[in-house]
């Protein structure tokens, strides 16, 4: 996802906050079963190097977990938080698994 209206529409969906990120899941209510991903990280989190590193970590998590735990026909938005870059990748994986199970049910 790249367009602002898509991100704003997803903001009306369910949300789950963790120390490293906030996950938003919004059912698009269309016939497309695709699981779309959007990532947003503000400049408050850090400089470009930090934000890009966080984005790469989120993409890796999503590639690993979304196919089996994500909700079909929904947009999944990851919003990076300030403490996300220092968190252990295993902890992020556990938090993401818990969040996807809760929101996709």
As a whole number, mean pLDDT of residues 8-24 equals: 94
Note the pLDDT of residue 89: 95
104 pLDDT above the threshold of 90: no
- Total-model pTM: 0.92
| Domain 4-104: CATH class, spelled out | alpha beta
pLDDT digits (tens, 9 = 90+) for 37-93: 999 999 999 999 999 999 999 999 999 999 999 999 999 999 999 988 899 999 999
Rounded distance between C-alpha atoms, residue 77 and residue 4, angstroms: 12
Q: Which of 5-9, 34-38, 50-54 has the lowest mean pLDDT?
A: 5-9
Phi-psi region of 51 (alpha: psi -120 to 50; beta: other; left: phi over 0): alpha
Domain boundaries, the chain: 4-104
- The mean per-residue pLDDT over the stretch 3-12 comes to 91
The predicted structure's pLDDT at residue 37: 96
So what's the pLDDT on residue 83?
85
């Amino acid at each position: 996802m790249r367009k602002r209206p898509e991100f704003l529409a997803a903001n009306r969906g369910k949300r789950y906050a963790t120390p490293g990120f906030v996950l938003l899941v919004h059912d698009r209510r269309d016939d497309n079963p695709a699981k779309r991903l959007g990532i947003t990280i503000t400049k408050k989190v850090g400089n470009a190097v930090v934000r890009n590193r966080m984005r790469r970590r989120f993409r890796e998590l999503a590639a690993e977990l979304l196919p089996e735990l994500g909700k079909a026909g929904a947009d999944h938005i990851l919003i990076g938080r300030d403490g996300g870059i220092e968190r252990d990748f295993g902890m992020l994986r556990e938090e993401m698994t818990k969040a996807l199970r809760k929101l996709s049910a």
